[in-house]
Amino acid sequence: MGYRSEVGFYIEFTKDPEEFIALMKVDGREIFKNFLEFMYIENYPEPILEEDAPIGGVHFHHNHWKWYEDSQLGFTELLNMAGDFDENFKAKFARTGEESDDTEEEWFNDDGYDLEYPYVVRMVETAMDLTKLKKVEA
């Protein structure tokens, strides 16, 4: 079965993100095909009219990915392609593994840290609707 991770990244562009997706499809690398299955395009509703302002991006999320060396190399190649496509791109990456201390958050290019998503959240889930239970009185 292998070690699984929840992985997310967002790449923001000042150029049309759909053109970037088209480049990924034409490239044909197997890892890019795998990424494409879990990618979503976001076009900002009202682009800022400044030159080099972001107009949208691509999201990736998978909650059970085998994030091994080939995925890491593929992501690096994807960032290289993003840089060739749009020198003003920025990106953010987050991953959490099966072990509680196995987390990563990284950003790319000068302002990637400003991107809101993705990020790692640690929480306890009880998987119960506590409102349906009787509260213990102290």
Task: Give CA–CA dist 128/133, Å, rounded.
Answer: 9
Please, which pLDDT band fits residue 133 given cuts at 50, 70 and 90? confident
Please, which pLDDT band fits residue 137 given cuts at 50, 70 and 90? confident
CA distances from 8 to 49, 70, 130, 137 (A): 29, 16, 31, 42
Burial class (CB in 10 A: 0-12, 13-18, 19+), 123: exposed
Please, which pLDDT band fits residue 23 given cuts at 50, 70 and 90? very high
Residue 1's pLDDT is 54
Q: Per-residue pLDDT for 123 more than 90? A: no
Mean pLDDT to the nearest integer, 116-137: 80
Q: Per-residue pLDDT for 58 more than 90? A: yes
Higher pLDDT, 123 or 20: 20
Average pLDDT, the chain: 88
Task: Give CA–CA dist 125/38, Å, rounded.
Answer: 25
Please, which pLDDT band fits residue 86 given cuts at 50, 70 and 90? very high
Please, which pLDDT band fits residue 75 given cuts at 50, 70 and 90? very high
Please, which pLDDT band fits residue 31 given cuts at 50, 70 and 90? very high
